[in-house]
Every structure is written in C-alpha cells, then in structure tokens.
Structure 1
Amino acid sequence: MYHNQNKKEVGFMHQRGFEIVTKDQNAQLALPQRQTAHAAGYDFEAAEDFLLPSIWKLDFVRIFHLLRKEQTLTDEDYMAATKTLKPLLVPTGIKAYMPDNEFLMLANRSSNPLKKGLVLPNGVGIVDADYYNNPANEGEIFFQLVNMGVRDVTIKKGERIGQGIFMPYLTVDDETTVTTERTGGFGSSGR
C-alpha cells in the first residue's frame, strides 16, 4: 500500500515523487529535480527568502570567553548560547510520497559548507513514508541548517539548499509489529 492513494495514471500507481504543499500552491515553487543524468539526489530549493544568522553571535562567543577564564556559567548563559546555536528549519514547500519500505534521505549540498558555511547539524535528515500528508504540517520538508560562517547568510527563494535521495530500508526478522501511527510533523516520531 502506498501513502498517496490519489496518485493514479491510467491504472498505474505512482510509487514515489514530490508535490507542493497546499499552503504554497500559488507560490510558483519548482519540484525537486536531478541536475545530471547520473545524479542520485533531487535538488530542493528554498520556498522563501530565509535569513540564517551566524553562530558567532555575542551570546555564543561570550560562553567561550567565560570558559577560557574558568568562570562558572549560569543557566541563563547556557540558555543564551543554546538559543544562538539552535538550527533553523528552512522551508521547501515540498512534500514527498513513497512506498512504505522507503525513506527520503536529506543531505546537504556539497558546496554549502565550503562556500556559505552552512551545515546540517544532524548530518542527514530522514523523511519517513508516513510523514507524507501528516496532520501537523501536511508533510512539508524542511532542511535543518546552521550557519557556521562569520557572516549572516540570506538564502533566496528558489536557491538550492539540499538534496533528497530515495532509499529502501530493511527490518529485522523478529521485529515486534509496530502499530503506532504518526500524529505530528517535523521530529514527531522521537521522544
């Protein structure tokens, strides 16, 4: 069974692909595409202009200063630094459908760290098949990014920010049947 029961074309069930989320239907967004014949990844673009501030802001640098002087840090110091280092979710306006035994792996563009100082703090993102059309955000895909550069970076609408690669996965022989259904959006399957 596929999560996108509406994807039919002359009796053929589409297995995987991309759609624009409802809220962005009139935003003139491009669906992800591969850029070369042998590319594994589908390039995602930003759905809107988005500012990614540099992590090298005062509260973050202040922590290093206090640590170097071996001063005791307060909970407020830690909270301020954590707020500065928090990754931001760059919206794509795109959702993906796929068979139940696949996932979409989100990866950074190879040029992002080198040219812009942008990194995915979790290394890769995983979009599960049941994320599609979830009730919290319709399955919109976001790229979690941190700007490690010294200057703020503005990503322009339509600028490529990352790539997605469809992948199959395997389960163990003696797995207990999982009956939990996804009820939320981004990060909702964790504790």
Structure 2
Amino acid sequence: MQPPYKVEIQRLPGNEDVPLPVKMSAGASGYDLHAAIVEPIELAPGERKLIPTGFALSMPNGLEAQIRPRSGLAFKHGITTLNTPGTIDADYRGEVKVLLINLGAEPFVVSRGERIAQMVFQTVPVIDLAEVGALDQTVRGAGGFGHTGV
C-alpha cells in the first residue's frame, strides 16, 4: 500500500456550517459532497443546475478528483450528475461545483448541507503520445458502439 497523498482543502467563507467532504464508511471509495446553497433549489424534471459545495482543493500533480452521482439519489429520485465523471484537475483552485440534473418524473428540492454527489480521487498516469503512420491490427479492429451485438 502506498503512503497517502496530501490533498489540501479550503472551506470557503460563509460555509462554516456546510460539512466538508466525508467518507460515510471505512471502506467507502468516495467522499460525499454537500450543497452549499443559500436557499433551497428546486430541480424540475429535465432541469440542470450547478450546485456549489463551499470548498476548494489543492492536489499534487498526478491526481485528479472525479465527481460522481450518489447512487441513492439516482435510484430514488433520478438525480444524477451530467458530466459523469466530472474531473477536477490538479491545477484547479476554484470552488468545486456539481452539475446536477433531474432525470426523474417529479421535481426535486436540494437543501443546504444535503449530500448531492461523491468525489473519488484517482491517479493520472504520465503518457507519451507518439504519432505513427499506422496502428497495429487486432481482431476487433475499428468495431465500436454495439459491434458485439449487445
């Protein structure tokens, strides 16, 4: 097991009552994120809104934070994140925000402090892209979307 990465977190002014990201169990991969909104926000079916979380991060190069839906909100209410997973790059220092959409049939109200998404940290490999004139051949070839019949 490798030693932990140091990720600094800054609570933004006016959000002292909003919980910082937290793992809800010892084996959880993701940190739950909470809505840092002033007033409740209603999401009508099909509507999307950008929800602030009240914090910013500083991560070392080689890490990214991915913003993902919470399974309970998705299953019970049809609430998910649009750009899933959303990527927070290591050099971004602004407030982390979550792009929620209501894919359910009923309006959904987001309240201050409510758990709205989860954040999972991932390592980012260093890649050397090398342009070539032709690629090696495989059995699959260029078969893409649905090519296996599923």
Same fold (TM over 0.5): yes
Q: Matches of 1:91 and 1:50 in 2, distance apart?
A: 11
Q: What is the correspondence of 1:66-81 to structure 2 with a 5 Å cutoff?
A: none
Q: Matches of 1:157 and 1:173 in 2, distance apart?
A: 44
Q: Give the strand-richer structure, 1 or 2.
A: 2
TM-score when normalising by structure 2: 0.75
C-alpha contact (below 8 Å) 1:18/1:32 kept by paired residues: no
- CA 1:174/1:150 → structure 2, altered by over 3 Å: closer, same or farther? closer
Q: Please list every run of 5 or more consecutive structure 1 residues that lacks an aligned counterpart in the other structure.
A: 1-13, 56-84, 133-138, 176-191
Identical pairs, percent: 31
Give every structure 1 segment of 4 or more consecutive aligned residues whose post-TM-superposition deviation is greater than 4 Å. Answer: none
TM-score when normalising by structure 1: 0.60
Offset at residue 174 of structure 1 (A)? 5.4
Hey, what does 2:146 align to over in structure 1? none
Is 2:37 aligned against 1:18? no
Is 2:115 aligned against 1:160? yes
Q: What is the correspondence of 1:38-187 to structure 2 with a 5 Å cutoff?
A: 38-48=27-37, 49-55=40-46, 87-132=48-93, 139-173=94-128
Offset at residue 159 of structure 1 (A)? 0.8
Q: Partner of 1:129: helix, strand, or coil?
A: coil
User: Match of 1:52, as an amino acid?
Assistant: L
Q: Give the helix-richer structure, 1 or 2.
A: 1
- CA 1:42/1:103 → structure 2, altered by over 3 Å: closer, same or farther? same
Cα RMSD for the two superposed structures:
1.8
Q: Partner of 2:20: helix, strand, or coil?
A: coil
Q: Partner of 1:130: helix, strand, or coil?
A: coil
C-alpha contact (below 8 Å) 2:70/2:80 kept by paired residues: no
C-alpha contact (below 8 Å) 2:68/2:118 kept by paired residues: yes
C-alpha contact (below 8 Å) 2:69/2:118 kept by paired residues: yes
Offset at residue 112 of structure 1 (A)? 1.4
User: Match of 1:105, as an amino acid?
Assistant: Q
Offset at residue 169 of structure 1 (A)? 0.2
User: Match of 2:41, as an amino acid?
Assistant: F
Offset at residue 113 of structure 1 (A)? 1.4
User: Match of 2:19, as an amino acid?
Assistant: A
Q: Please list every run of 5 or more consecutive structure 2 residues that lacks an aligned counterpart in the other structure.
A: 131-150
C-alpha contact (below 8 Å) 2:42/2:110 kept by paired residues: yes
